[in-house]
Amino acid sequence: MIKIFDTTLRDGEQAPGYSMNLSEKIEMAVQLEKLGVDIIEAGFAIASKGDFNSVSEIAKIIKNAEVASLSRALTKDIDASVEALKGAAFPRIHTFIATSDIHMQYKLKKNENEVLEITSEMVKYAKRFCQSVEFSAEDATRSRPEFLYRVLEQAIKAGATVLNIPDTVGYTSPSEIFDLIVGIKQNVRGIEKVDISIHCHNDLGMGVANTLSAIKAGATQIECTINGIGERAGNAALEEIIMNLKTRSDIYPFETKINTQEIYPTSKLLTNITGVKVQPNKAIVGDNAFAHESGIHQHGMLSNKKTYEIMTPKSIGLADKKMVLGKHSGRHAFVDRLVELGFKLPDSEIDTLFENFKMLADKKKNVTDLDIQMLAMRRNIKIPQTYKLDRFVINSGNTITTTSSMKLIYTNPYTKETEILEKVMPSYDGPIDASYKAIDQLVGKTFILEDFLISAVTGGTDAQGEVYVKLKNHEGNIYNGYGISVDIVEASILAYISAINNMVYEENR
């Protein structure tokens, strides 16, 4: 059985554009547990207060996977991880030090003996607090193999249970990584007692291929991220690795605990939270991954799906984009559809969801499976609505100055007292600009709009429009906001307000 170590919330989240707040990270972690990963790397505890909190909160919630926290090979880093992992059912300390000449000389300014010594000391130190200790030899694929073997042997002697071989800069090739893993198995004493892990970056587009080659050579743990997000060109994509193992089990005879039907919902949840979509032709989870447009392909598919389909959309949990429900649909039909889409929820959650569905169905003639998935997947991201849209009125046209009249309800986060806030703002730059300026005035702050993304969730002129914004405040922190409505101006306003609520939530934690 190959173990899946997901680092979406650590290596993935540290890449530009993917930052998530605590509530969003918790929602992702819960979904990763449902997907069946063995280990969730929840953050780098010492890196920031946000990372510490995310490790600590995720550790308390996750019961069916190990929760890992990254630490440099320094006692203060390990101490922070130990503290953050206190509530975990299955904690793992992940500590690392670089082993390549270039990293040792220019970054660490340490020689080989010093690195060997630190490895031994820090793994021993981590082992005092935690049974499960993973050691990573950063930049392993550019390290001198003979030195790497000695470092790994020290880590095993000191008590490491997992040895990770990172291709930190995405430099290796499938045959080279194969030989390196074989070399490690042949030259490192005690290697049979521990898991060998592989961690590939994708700088040359080889992350998945290198990972698959490493497990053929004997690696027993794979480190990867959802949608392949991560530093620079990203990390090896979980969905691509898993569907290779499933579709080509003839050449990769390895089992994992992943429930492949949770792949699409997990990918979608991540894009939904971060607002960063995958490219349409992305393997497995891209919009076109299962689309057969050309006539020849369609003809083949009609005769026998296997002509052009090597795996089914259902196997990754991709529901048909069927039109299923409308405003006359009852609660029963709605619940049935939710269950078919894989959401088995308690009555209390269904009540709110059904209300949201009814509101949507009032505005939109046909509610599709995708609409329902969207509603259901974001249900647990609970950010207090410090600012809530009460109503807005836009007066706009191509020959007049636009005005936005905005009314918000403000709830004091401490006293819970509410206050009505109203503002009318003109703008020469259209309804969204006027509305955002009005909100800035009401909140008493200005923001830099780092990103604004608008798209139709489904087809047709009555499609739900979804808007993602990323707002930067004066301290340089970025907050995600999301809004969905059949009215794109409303979706834009909701997204802006939700980013502000995210900021208030983070600031008051």
Nearer to Zn ion, 167 or 369 (CB): 167
* 172 interacts with, out of Zn ion, ligand KIV, none, CB within 5 to 8 A per kind: none
Closer of 11 and 195 to Zn ion (Cβ): 11
Q: Render the burial of 213-231: b for 16+ CB within 10 Å, e for the rest.
A: bbbbbebbbbbbbbbbbbb
**Cα dihedral sign, 20-96-267-88:** negative
For ligand KIV, give the closer residue by CB, 184 or 361: 184
* 506: contact with Zn ion by CB under 5 A: no
4-63 residues in contact with Zn ion (CB under 5 A) are 11
Residue from 71, 99, 119, 136 touching ligand KIV (CB under 6 A): that is: 136
Q: What angle do CA 370, 373, 375 make, to 5 degrees?
A: 110
Nearest distance in Å: CB 51, ligand KIV: 13
Binder among 199, 268, 337, 470 for ligand KIV (CB under 6 A):
199
Cβ 433 to Zn ion shortest distance, Å? 40
Amino acid identity, residue 455? S
Locus of tokens 């198995």: 185
Strands 323-325 and 367-368: antiparallel
Is the CB of 11 or the CB of 24 nearer to Zn ion? 11
The pairing of strands 478-485 and 465-472 is antiparallel
Contacts 24+ apart (CB under 8 A), 449-456: 450/478, 451/17, 451/275, 452/492, 453/275, 453/277, 454/488, 454/491, 454/492, 455/277
Q: Do residues 46 and 14 lie in contact, with contact meaning Cβ atoms separated by under 8 Å?
A: no
- d(C-alpha 65, C-alpha 2), whole Å: 14
Nearest approach in angstroms of CB 233 to Zn ion is 11
- Residue 136's binding partner out of ligand KIV, Zn ion, none, with CB under 5 to 8 Å set by partner kind: ligand KIV
CA dihedral of residues 382, 388, 391, 397 (deg, nearest 10)? -80
CB of 47 to ligand KIV, least distance (A): 11
Please report how close the Cβ of residue 408 comes to Zn ion at its closest, in angstroms: 42
Both tokens of 355, joined, read 């209300």
What six digits make up the tokens of 371?
């609409």
Element (H, E) at 455: strand 448-456
Q: Judged by CB under 6 A, how many residues of this single chain contact ligand KIV? A: 9
Q: Closest Cα partner for 20 from 216, 287, 226?
A: 226
- Using CB under 5 A as the binding criterion, the count of chain residues that bind Zn ion stands at 1
The minimum distance between CB 98 and ligand KIV, in angstroms, equals 8
Provide, rounded to whole angstroms, the least separation between the CB of residue 160 and ligand KIV: 13
C-beta of 469: minimal distance to ligand KIV in Å? 29
Q: How far is CA 460 from the centre of its chain?
A: 29
- Two structure tokens written together for 316: 């990754």
Q: Does 166 bind ligand KIV (CB under 6 A)?
A: yes
- From the list 323, 406, 442, 407, the residue with the least C-alpha distance to 372 is 323
Token pair in block for residue 287 = 């919009």
Which residue of 138, 240, 371, 490 would you call a contact of ligand KIV, by CB under 6 A? 138
Helix (H, G, I), strand (E, B) or coil at 433: helix
Measured distance CA(120)–CA(386) in Å, rounded = 50
Closest CB to Zn ion: residue number: 11
What are the structure tokens assigned to 305, written together?
Answer: 């799906």
Query: In the chain, what are the helix, strand and coil shares in percent, each to the nearest 5?
Result: 45, 20, 35
Distance from C-alpha of 405 to C-alpha of 394, rounded to nearest angstrom? 6
Residue with tokens 């004997």, as numbered in its chain: 218
Residue 154 interacts, among ligand KIV, Zn ion, none and using kind-specific CB cut-offs from 5 to 8 Å, with none
Q: Which is nearer to ligand KIV, 76 or 332 (CB)?
A: 76
Q: If contact means CB under 5 to 8 A according to the sort of partner, which of Zn ion, ligand KIV, none does residue 153 touch?
A: none
Helix (H, G, I), strand (E, B) or coil at 319: coil
| Closest approach of ligand KIV to the CB of residue 378, in Å | 29
Q: Interface with ligand KIV includes 211 (CB under 6 A)?
A: no
Stretch that binds ligand KIV, among 107-115, 164-172, 318-326, 441-449 (CB under 6 A): 164-172
Question: Residue 33's binding partner, choosing from Zn ion, ligand KIV, none, with beta-carbon cut-off 5 to 8 A by kind?
Answer: none
Residue 77 in the binding site for Zn ion (CB under 5 A): no
Which does residue 268 bind out of ligand KIV, Zn ion, none, counting CB within 5 to 8 angstroms by kind? none
Q: Cβ of residue 61: shortest distance to ligand KIV, in angstroms?
A: 24
Selection from Zn ion, ligand KIV, none that 138 binds (CB < 5 to 8 A by kind) is ligand KIV
> Could you tell me which stretch among 15-23, 52-60, 123-131, 160-168 binds ligand KIV (CB under 6 A)?
160-168
Give Cα 185 to chain centroid, integer Å: 33
Residue with tokens 């269950």: 339
Choose among ligand KIV, Zn ion, none what residue 96 binds, the Cβ cut-off being 5 to 8 Å by kind. Answer: ligand KIV
Q: Of the listed pieces 76-84, 161-169, 248-256, 497-505, which binds ligand KIV according to CB under 6 A?
A: 161-169
Instruction: Verify binding: residue 96, ligand KIV, rule CB under 6 A.
Output: yes
Residue 11 or 13 with smaller CB distance to Zn ion: 11
Residue ranges in contact with ligand KIV by CB under 6 A: 11, 96, 136, 138, 164, 166, 168, 199, 201
Interface residues toward Zn ion, by CB under 5 A? 11
